[in-house]
Each structure stands twice: as C-alpha cells, then as structure tokens.
C-alpha cells in the first residue's frame, strides 16, 4: 500500500490524547468513518482501503462504539416486518 503524509492542525490541549498510542489503522479508520456514516463509501470499500476485511472494520468500529446499523427502533422494526413478509412468500 502506498502511503502519503498529511499535516493536520489540532489544539495543543488535545495533543496528548491524539498521540496516546492509538494504532495507525484505528486512526485511519476514524478518518474514513464520516464518509462511511454519510454513505459516501461503504464499509466494504473502507475496509479495502485500510487493508482489512469488512468484518474486521465492523468489529473495530463496534469496539469504538460506532454502530454498523444506524437506524431507529421504528426503522428496525419495519426492516424485520419486511424480511418476514419476504420469507413467507
């Protein structure tokens, strides 16, 4: 994988937390998360870019408290009803 350097500006007060030993893959995954959350890229594409399997990325995000499924209870219940209707056919 070809790597590049970028420079970011952060407040001095958060420096100790940013450089606390977090792995490079976790940092890179966090940089991609807004694009995943906003449906710009899929979890699969993000995983590919990071050199991870999709399941590894989903598990990483889960450990960080970032959900794979981001829907309300009402949306989830509708999905369940839809799946049940499809299975019955």
Claim: this prediction has a pTM higher than 0.75: no
Task: For residues 79 and 71, give the distance between their C-alpha atoms in angstroms, rounded to a whole number.
Answer: 10
Task: For residues 45 and 36, give the distance between their C-alpha atoms in angstroms, rounded to a whole number.
Answer: 9
Q: What is the pLDDT along the chain (89 residues), one digit of tens a residue?
A: 788 888 888 889 988 777 666 778 898 999 999 999 999 999 999 999 999 999 999 999 999 999 888 778 888 889 889 999 999 87
Task: For residues 59 and 38, give the distance between their C-alpha atoms in angstroms, rounded to a whole number.
Answer: 19
Can you give the residue ranges of every domain in the chain? Answer: 12-88
């Amino acid at each position: 994988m070809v790597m590049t350097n970028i420079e970011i500006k952060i407040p001095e007060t958060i420096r100790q937390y940013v450089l606390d030993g977090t792995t490079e893959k976790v940092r890179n995954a966090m940089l991609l998360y807004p694009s995943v959350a906003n449906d710009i890229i899929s979890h699969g594409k993000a995983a590919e870019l990071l050199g991870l399997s999709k399941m590894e990325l989903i598990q990483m995000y889960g450990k960080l408290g970032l959900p794979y499924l981001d829907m309300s209870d009402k949306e989830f219940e509708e999905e369940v009803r839809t799946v049940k209707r499809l299975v019955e056919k």
